[in-house]
Structure 1
């Protein structure tokens, strides 16, 4: 093999990935950006309308500005940030156990994330069933806390809160395992040196030793949490049984995209929503990189 041929070996080896990445990631993104500047009803040829979809999004789509965006922000802050902090806290607590209990508890906490979100909601729909046979209603009625059954999953007052509970319950996924592995692989000599230098509490140990020593795992967990949170769509629809959800109480950005793209066939506007969602995910991913990325 000549030196010139060997020079391009790496391109040959990574070419399958580059081809698949281009077909399934790059091209769809480029097409979505193009369609966001068009009117496209999935039947006729797309017609160029410039930034009209974005103007409509910001000035005329009251559902997006008054319901979808606030819902997404609330859901993302609680499930994304809260779930991320909960993942690290549980990972740190489990890391203090001996190997056998550690494995058991890690499996128990991780197992809900293995179940598909739509499948998982079947269990919760039984718990929050709106008739007297629903487990929560039956319990509250039995002990006199309520005098009639509550429509938990059809009530705008409760739907978002139930979505958050279900999502937090199932949020201990691969990011949680990465954090647990990172904590367990921190060099013990760092802790010994830190105590010699004056660290006295476990909180100081976590802040000054554990987190800096596992920044790659923290970054991975943050990116996974951001992506999973902003792309969540099925839980609210599966719980309530409708899209849009009752009075848009559980409507998130992905639900809004599905509503316009697959129910109203306004593909151009749905593409504009998708581009905005992509930019939001990119922005928060950059924030995570600034916090935990290697410099």
Structure 2
């Protein structure tokens, strides 16, 4: 402190400074959460009960059908949906006028219910994965198991029990343990849902007006659809064979992230060896691509 600055050391000034320090500490303590873990769990359980109260007959009707298609109990699906506000909000939006045209009900291995789900236990938290349900529009959760697609064609009305029976449609799909590409999922859905429905459909309306040629046109259409699915399958197989270059390793990302790390990594033998292994694998991949390109070139000749 500069010598020419005067500080008041009279008793009133000292008391004032002490009170200021005490007030600051009191404010810090107010911001600090004093809730115990048990109290927090009770608070989250109450929020879960509130979410449960938002599920109406329309919600449970869809869950009953989804549970039947998934060969499980509707209570299991409901338990998963109650884990997050986001799941309830997505589900509710589906029934509103102008709301979502479709929702996805996932039933798959996921991380155990989080602490704020309202059903967290120490035993559940110790599991690496947990089979549970969620409702999403496909943008928030990764699809890794079974799925019921619930969709409606008319979004210009608010849905009630009557509309559930007349306007709601369901489709089942699941991931394939061998091919997890988006294209393969579309093909599988078409083969499982669209093709059988078209083959058994007897209401072709104005598509076929002449009864004499109805059978031939229907057979021709289903054959064209089957050929189209086979065409997509060949594309998917070609895409699966596409060589993908491996992303550069973590040490290189850290090396490039900050200048001060450059010298430390240049002296790190483990980091250098990891980069060398990555470079060798990348060179082999490039050589493989070059060989495949030459093979295609010679075959075309």
Per the shorter chain, which TM-score range?
A: under 0.3
Computing the radius of gyration from Cα coordinates, the structure with the larger value is 2
Bigger RCO of structures 1 and 2 (CA < 8 A, at least 6 apart): 1
> Per residue, is there more strand in 1 or in 2?
2
TM-score (norm. length: structure 1): 0.21
